């Protein structure tokens, strides 16, 4: 029996609304992964194979989802992952996401290639946020960006290391994002856009400028995302090694998290170079396809590094129950990617806040029905089986 579908209840509901509202090429850019999207699907389905152990008749009248990371208390063990071009999915999208994250007392991570700049995001509130860095060939620009980040109160740097080259994303190619569009293709794009009037009004016209705010001063004469994309493509530095992390460590006084770790050897290297944390991540299944689902590799990496560094994880989290499972299997913290952007596209700050509130209450329910009242009591004993 189908429901009335009056109120979005889950990530999938926001995803469907986003699909209706967004121009096709933007929805596909967000929703898609690389190659046959095997890892993208595995990230999500791996959670469904993890069964929980229900425990009853404990006093669970006061359940608390709060955790601490690097000495900072957060409302739950999840933050917002860095997403490039967030401001194409909602007017000044990064500002709306930061406000929603503030409301739940969780961290927001601004991407190097966000539409809004560090300075603009800092205007939202006094609460610190995190900044994600891609290493650019122009080390002067990198150094300046880090100084700007420090200047606006960023306390945590997320350094992404899994984009030495770009994974092939078939949906983007089909949509002409890699060039080669015929006249007929351009007409089809225009016809698709004509059906997305609310996006054109609110984001296309109302969300300008569509520049990459953090990079605007380093890319002369650029005015459209395409101009920045071209600059980024030639700036991505495929020669980066662990030595560069030592360099970063030397110039960045705050917390440093290395994002894009998928095996124990690299995790131990990250510990060696002084990373305060790692993010087990396959970039949401957008880079190398057919790698492990992140939740599957978590126990092995956690066993290798122990408490030597904070272990964060992202990829495939679609509910509070997924966050609970990741925490139970050893993640100190998680990051949520696509879900916050689906919600942004569906209904802006309010929808992101509603989705995050749902996630929080799902963690509470998972805790209560496994007989737990405090986050630090969550451990692998709540997991029944892993298929």
The residues binding ligand FMN (CB under 6 A) are 29-30, 43, 81-84, 111, 113, 132, 160, 259, 281, 283-284, 286, 314-317, 336-338
The span from the CA of 92 to the CA of 105, in Å, is 20
Indicate the residue among 169 and 302 with the shorter CB distance to ligand FMN.
169
Torsion sign, CA atoms 194, 195, 197, 203: negative
Give yes or no: 376 in active site: no
Q: Which of 335, 347, 349, 350 is nearest to 18 (CA)?
A: 347
Indicate the residue among 111 and 353 with the shorter CB distance to ligand FMN.
111
Q: What is the token pair recorded at 286?
A: 């957008």
Task: Provide the pairing of β-strand 78-80 with 109-110.
Answer: unpaired
Indicate the residue among 321 and 370 with the shorter CB distance to ligand FMN.
321
Hey, what's the torsion of the CAs at 106, 346, 163, 248, to 10 degrees?
-30
The span from the CA of 197 to the CA of 219, in Å, is 31
Query: Where do the DSSP E strands lie in 210-341?
Result: 255-261, 277-280, 310-314, 333-336
Indicate the residue among 23 and 315 with the shorter CB distance to ligand FMN.
315
283, 302, 318, 338: the active-site residue: 283
CB of residue 259 to ligand FMN, shortest distance in Å: 6
C-alpha distances in Å from residue 228, one per residue of 67, 82, 181, 234:
38, 17, 19, 10
The span from the CA of 33 to the CA of 113, in Å, is 18
The span from the CA of 370 to the CA of 346, in Å, is 33
Strand, helix or coil for residue 317: coil
Radius of gyration of the chain (CA): 20
Helices (H), 195-258: 197-199, 225-235, 242-251
CB of residue 336 to ligand FMN, shortest distance in Å: 5
Indicate the residue among 81 and 356 with the shorter CB distance to ligand FMN.
81
Indicate the residue among 98 and 372 with the shorter CB distance to ligand FMN.
98
The span from the CA of 15 to the CA of 21, in Å, is 10
Torsion sign, CA atoms 362, 285, 107, 97: negative
Return the active site residues: 283
């Amino acid at each position: 029996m189908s429901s009335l579908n009056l109120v979005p209840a889950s990530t999938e509901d926001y995803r469907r609304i986003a699909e209706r509202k967004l121009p096709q090429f933007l929805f596909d850019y967000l929703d898609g992964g690389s190659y046959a999207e095997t890892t993208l699907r595995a990230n999500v389905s791996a959670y469904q194979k993890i069964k929980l152990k229900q425990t009853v008749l404990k006093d669970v009248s006061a359940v608390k989802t709060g955790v601490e990371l690097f000495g900072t208390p957060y409302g739950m063990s999840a933050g917002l992952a860095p997403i490039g071009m967030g401001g194409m999915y909602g007017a000044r999208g990064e500002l709306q996401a930061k406000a929603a994250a503030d409301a739940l007392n969780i961290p927001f991570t601004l991407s190097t290639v966000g539409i809004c700049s560090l300075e603009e995001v800092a205007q939202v509130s006094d609460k610190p946020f995190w900044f994600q860095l891609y290493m650019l060939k122009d080390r002067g620009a990198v150094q300046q960006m880090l100084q700007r980040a420090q200047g606006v109160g960023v306390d945590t740097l997320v350094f992404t290391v899994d984009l030495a080259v770009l994974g092939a994303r078939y949906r983007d190619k089909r949509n002409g994002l890699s060039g080669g569009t015929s006249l007929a293709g351009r007409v089809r794009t225009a016809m698709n856009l004509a059906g997305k009037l609310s996006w054109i009004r609110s984001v296309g016209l109302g969300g300008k400028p569509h520049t990459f705010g953090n990079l605007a001063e380093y890319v002369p004469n650029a005015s459209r995302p395409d101009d920045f994309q071209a600059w980024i493509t030639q700036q991505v530095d495929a020669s980066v090694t662990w030595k560069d992390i030592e360099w970063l460590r030397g110039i960045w006084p705050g917390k440093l998290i290395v994002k894009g770790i998928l095996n124990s050897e690299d995790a131990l290297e990250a510990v060696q170079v002084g990373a305060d944390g790692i993010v087990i991540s396959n970039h949401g299944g957008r880079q190398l396809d057919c790698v492990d689902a992140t939740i599957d590799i978590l126990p092995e990496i956690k066993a290798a590094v122990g408490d030597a560094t904070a272990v964060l994880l992202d990829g495939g989290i679609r509910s509070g129950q997924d966050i609970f499972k990741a925490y139970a299997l050893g993640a100190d913290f998680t990051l949520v990617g696509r879900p916050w952007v689906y919600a942004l596209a569906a209904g802006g700050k309010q929808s992101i806040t509603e989705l995050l509130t749902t996630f929080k209450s799902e963690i509470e329910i998972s805790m209560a029905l496994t007989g737990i009242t405090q986050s630090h009591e969550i451990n692998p004993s709540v997991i029944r089986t892993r298929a």
